[in-house]
Amino acid sequence: MKSLLLAIACVAVSACGDREAERAAAAAAQAAAVEQQAADLAKKYDSAVASSDWDMARIHGVALLDQYPQSEAAARIGPGLDDVKGKAEAAREQRRMETLWDYSQVAVDGGTQRSAALLSKEPVDVDGSGAKPVQLVFRDHPTWKRSSYLVLQASDFAKACYSRCQVTVVADGAAPKRMSANRPDTDEATAMFIDDEKALWRLARKTKVLEIEFTVKDGSTHRALFETGGLDGSQMPGWD
């Protein structure tokens, strides 16, 4: 009888041991599968980082840390993810600013007129009739050559500008620059040229924000802020 009970006990212990081994093997297999899935996601993250595709890198990185936070891959990429998120946000902001510019090419006598135009970030009320956008334009004309100017949708620039006046330009919050300007004596458009188009172009190309202060016909001074950081130099050949 004792022998029988001992045999039964041995079988039971053996069965328990087998079940523990099975559970351990299953847990190990699951852990290996998780690590593999995390590694596969990390490869996508690494590939996106290598190609400077910061949006995709952020997506893969966040997914990796959310889904497999205890994985070796998560431990590896975790410290650098905040930097990737910052670069992804900067890339989105750059794309947003690029869409603000309006480029055109128009056939005219003598060739093609090219222009790059941008509306002010906020509308400006220059005469009490309500706030309206101010436009900044860079133009390249085969006859009139290169120019830069502001366009108002209401009121007019100061009478003094019909001969010569100045505007104040602030680039990314730096020290103000005074730039010569003139309002052509024509009724075709309420526009005022900023004479040194080369200098203004250089500022627009290397800064994110230009603020231009100008005076209108009632003598009041106003400021228009332009988000210039997305200006594409290839749209205006030769300007750079």
- Band (pLDDT 50/70/90 cuts) for residue 17 is low
- Band (pLDDT 50/70/90 cuts) for residue 34 is confident
Taking residues 124-150, what's their average pLDDT? 96
C-alpha 143/C-alpha 110 separation (Å) is 7
Contacts of 70 (CB under 8 A, 6+ apart): none
DSSP bridge pairs for 136: 118, 150
From residue 94, give the alpha-carbon distance in Å to each of 86, 108, 207, 208: 12, 32, 12, 9
Q: Does domain 100-235 have CATH number 2.70.70.10?
A: no
The proportion of the chain whose per-residue pLDDT surpasses 70, expressed as a percent, equals 92
Residue ranges of domains in the chain: 2-96, 100-235
